[in-house]
Structures are given as structure tokens and as C-alpha cells.
Structure 1
Amino acid sequence: MSEAVFTAEDFRRRALAQVAPLDQAWREHGDHVLNRDSILEIEQLNLRDAAVLVAVIDDADEARVILTKRTDKLRKHAGQIAFPGGGIDEADLSPEEAALREAEEEIGLDRRFVETVGRLPQYLAGTGFRIQPVLAVVQPGFVITPNPDEVESVFEVPLSFLMNPDNHRQDSRVWQGAVRHFYVMPYRERHIWGITAGIIRTLYERLYA
């Protein structure tokens, strides 16, 4: 892999250049590798299909990634840092359609500014979701309008920060009676961890490692 310059154009090229099949690739990426003993357990769950939008803003030499802080009143993952996204509905024609719809509903991101450029391997969450990350490039000029029922705030993190493995710490805690290992990526006052950090780590491993 050539040296990264962390522009949206370079991100697009890397996303489109993925050649390895995605079907079972999730097993070899992110925090799934840190929790191999729990893979079988997670696969046995009745997982709901979901999609998130990994949206990279095209801004000259410093591409940035859109993240949200979920409100504290949500039933799942309340108060956590997350990509825009949610469950895939029957009316959604694809994970891309679901991710774009959810981004519009959650943060008001007009899909006319968004170009989807690929996918990552799915992320299987112990909280009951099979998540399909959808990679996208966002052109400048969009307006963010958070839905206050779902999103407390929206912020951007430089792609260069997230793709630097020096910023990927590992931590662990006991969850449902077992020790679970996960990535943590503190950025300023934000605490990026769990599913979101696992997807970011997978993005790094697939496109930049």
C-alpha cells in the first residue's frame, strides 16, 4: 500500500481498490480478533441488520470523518460516540440506502453531497446487531441539522488521526460475565470506543495498514 496522504481522493481510491472478499473477513479485523472466544457466541445471536455511514469529508489535504454523540435517552448505546446509522428497514434496497437514509434522519446530511465508495466487513455486535459499514466521500457545502431525539452533537475528526495506529489503545472490561477487549481512541474531550472504535480499526487494517 502506498504512503497515505489522508485526502478524500486517496481514501476513495483505497476503498475502491479492496479486492479481498468481505463475507467472513470480519473475523480477522478490529476487536473481533481480540475476542475470538466470543465469536461463536455472537454468531448464535438473533442479530438485526444495521448500516452505518463512514463519511469522509473532502477538504483538500485534511479529510475529516463525521461522528456523532448519541443522546442519553436512547435505549441502545446511549451517550456513545457513533457513526450515523441504524437498522436496515424492509423498504431499504441496500445497506447503502439504509446508511444514507439514517444519516439524513439523524444529522440532516443531504445525500446529494454523498458518494458511496465501498463497504467494510460487517461488524457483529454483542448488543444484537450485524452492522454493515458503508464508506462514503462527502463534498463540501452540506449542512448538519442533528435530530435532538437521537443525536446530542455532531463533530469531525481528522482522518489522519483515526488512521494513526499510535492513537489506537486497547482496553477491557467485564460485560455479561466475560472479559471483553476493545479499542479506545480518545480525541480531545471525546471518548471513542466500542463498536465505533472497532469499525475504525477495521478501516485502518483494510485500507491503511
Structure 2
Amino acid sequence: MARRWTRRLMTLADTLSMADFRVRAAVRLLPSPPDPDDPDTVPIGEFALLAPDRVPRAAAVLIGVVPREEPQLLFTLRAKHLKVHPGQVSFPGGKRETDDPSPLATALREANEEIGLDPALVTPLGYLDLYVTNSGFGVVGVVAEIDPSYVVRLEPSEVDDAFEVPLDFLMRPENHRVEMREWRGGLREVHHMPWRERHIWGVTAGMVRNLHERLYGR
């Protein structure tokens, strides 16, 4: 079982229960995955850093909420030997394969490959906005509920750990930090949310921020 932190925090306006989360998700999340080819799709993230003619590659991640007494969000720690983003906190997920019929299928496949998550224990709740990364991926965040009985089986070639962080902590704006960093002669905005010895930052933190804005920010 993934490690989880049990420190008790004051609930977010006394509303951050799993029941309230489900209600907000049903009303405020996108009911279907954002289509990058749809002119009405407004991407977020680092799309402004890409060349205008560059088409983002499709990817998806699983943003899994575990309905414990204190709801938790599931993360992974990428393996330190990887060439791309080694040792970074992330959500289970990755590039969409040609035989993946949907972003949901991609997220479930990747979660199963990385941490052995049984797709039967995952209940989709909705989708976040399309998040474009400076590395050229258009990432669909699949928000879902994960049965707390799940068991982790790490794939060591991909991840070093899986762990949970209290949703209450992540949904508090005072825990959301932003830095401006130099990148290719310009400046880029970088989100980060330190939690204990874990450092949630970059795209992962940006997607957590998007989850907050959609469910609790307005």
C-alpha cells in the first residue's frame, strides 16, 4: 500500500469531504476530455513557450483521489535512472499510444503499468483543462476516485515510489507557490507545493492548481 500522511489539518472551509468533492466534480469538471483540435479548447500551462506551428503530442495522467477518512491524492516518484525528469513527483500517466481509444484508456494503462493499479478500482469523475508542457505534450488530466483497497506494485524501471498527500493540504491556496525562472532567454512561471520531503512542482503542481481552480476557486 502506498504511504499516506495522517496529520490532521483543518478542513477547507469545512467542505472538503469526499461527498462534497464528488458533487463539485460532477458540476465543475469537464464531462469529456478536452479536444486539442477544437477551436473552443483553451489550453493552460506552458503553451506560450512552444513554437506557434508545433502541435503538442497527446498524453494523459490519472489524478486519483482516494476516499479515506481524510481524502488523499495519489502521486508517484519517477525512477532516478530515467533520462527525462528523474526523481520527480508526478501523476501516473504518459504518452498516448496509437491503440489507446481515449485519454482515460491512456491514464488507466499507464497507472497499471507503473504502479499495478487495477482499472476496475478506478471510477472516472471528469477532466481538467488541456495542459500544454514546454516539452511539447498536451496533457489531459483524468480526475478519478480510487478504491482505497488498491494495492501498489511498483514497476522499478519507471517509478521508485507511490504515495498519498492529503487533498486538504493541496487545495489550500496558501500552499501554492509560484516562482519565475529563466528558460531559453525568457521567464517561465513554475508552480511548486512542498510536502514533507516531497517536492511537488512544475507540470504536476500546475495540474493540482488547475484542480483547485476548477473545484474550489470560484
TM-score calculated relative to the size of structure 2: 0.84
Deviation digits for residues 10-61 of structure 1 (CA, Å, limit 9, x no counterpart): 222211112779553434xxxx3xx6xx61635532321000000000113x
Letter paired with 1:184:
H
Q: What is the alpha-carbon distance in structure 1 between the residues aligned to residue 51 and residue 134 of structure 2? A: 6
Q: CA deviation at 1:91?
A: 1.1
Letter paired with 2:100:
D
Paired residues for 1:68-79 under 5 Å:
68-79=76-87
Over the residues paired in the alignment, what is the CA RMSD in angstroms?
A: 2.1
Alpha carbons of 1:65 and 1:43: their partners in 2 closer, same or farther (altered >3 Å)? farther
Alpha carbons of 1:181 and 1:97: their partners in 2 closer, same or farther (altered >3 Å)? same
Q: What is the alpha-carbon distance in structure 2 between the residues aligned to residue 42 and residue 136 of structure 1? A: 32
Number of corresponding residues: 199
Q: CA deviation at 1:140?
A: 1.6
Alpha carbons of 1:25 and 1:9: their partners in 2 closer, same or farther (altered >3 Å)? farther
Q: Percentage identity across aligned positions?
A: 43
The answer to whether the Cα contact below 8 Å between 2:29 and 2:127 also exists between their aligned partners in 1 is: no
Letter paired with 2:158:
E
Identify the match of residue 7 of structure 1 among 14, 17, 38. Answer: 17
Paired residues for 1:74-113 under 5 Å:
74-113=82-121
Q: What is the alpha-carbon distance in structure 2 between the residues aligned to residue 42 and residue 54 of structure 1? A: 28
Q: CA deviation at 1:4?
A: 5.7
Q: Which has the higher helix share?
A: 1
1:41 aligns with 2:58: no
1:53 match:
62
Alpha carbons of 1:148 and 1:20: their partners in 2 closer, same or farther (altered >3 Å)? closer
Gaps of 5+ in 2: 1-11, 35-39
Paired residues for 1:29-178 under 5 Å:
32=45, 39=48, 41=50, 44-60=53-69, 62-178=70-186
Q: What is the alpha-carbon distance in structure 2 between the residues aligned to residue 141 and residue 41 of structure 1? A: 41
